[in-house]
Amino acid sequence: MAEVLLFHHVYGLTSGVREFAARIEGAGHVVHLPDLYEGRVFDTFEEGVAHAGAVGFGTLVERGVAAAGELPADLVYAGFSLGVLPAQELARTRPGARGALLFHACAPLPEVGGGWPPHVPVRIHGMADDALFAGEGDLEAARALVEEAADGELFLYPGDRHLFADGGLPAYDEEAAELLTERVLDFLDRVG
């Protein structure tokens, strides 16, 4: 059994994120779902981006780091898009991390003091033609991280959808989401 700290995307803690967490829990793992938006959920991507910008990305990462403070150290950190920021930071800096699951995004590692810990496996999932993932530098960051990590894999899915694994959003792709979920469960079984 693995214990996962899962961070939501720019829409907020949607029913799709909750359903994804329930699927992981149904396979015997424990999932913690902090709400970085303090109860707010948005109907459009643009509204969510505006809210994240108003709150501040640094503040959202701080909220994610704070959420981990009450939990055991041996977690798998996971995040959907915006949620990758705190997940990646915690997996990189918090002692005891068991792994990282980065969905639809990947941030570049800091140039100073930013190496990826050799003992932390990472799996990155995104669509090959997603304008946000492939077109804004995340794909390059993902390739660099996987190259640096002792145990890293990048999974590229055919298509151009962002947030394809959230069953409640228009970008949902059932086939790709099912494959992503199978890969996530395999990973959690291995590190748990």
Q: For the segment 37-46, what is each residue's pLDDT rounded down to a tens digit? A: 999 999 999 9
Give the residue among 79, 114, 122 at the shortest CA–CA distance from 98.
Answer: 122
Q: State pLDDT tens for residues 9-41.
A: 999 999 999 999 999 999 999 999 999 999 999
What pLDDT shows up at residue 62?
Answer: 95
Give the residue among 103, 37, 41 at the shortest CA–CA distance from 67.
Answer: 37
Q: Is 112's pLDDT higher than 70?
A: no
Measured in degrees and rounded to the nearest 5, phi and psi for residue 113 equal: 65, 25
What pLDDT shows up at residue 110?
Answer: 83
Whole-prediction pTM:
0.96
Q: State pLDDT tens for residues 148-180.
A: 999 999 999 999 999 999 999 999 999 999 999
CATH of the domain at 41: 3.40.50.1820
**Domain count along the chain:** 1
Range of the domain at 59: 3-191
Q: Is 106's pLDDT higher than 70?
A: yes
Give the residue among 33, 51, 31, 35 at the shortest CA–CA distance from 43.
Answer: 51
Alpha-carbon distance 125 to 144, whole Å?
14
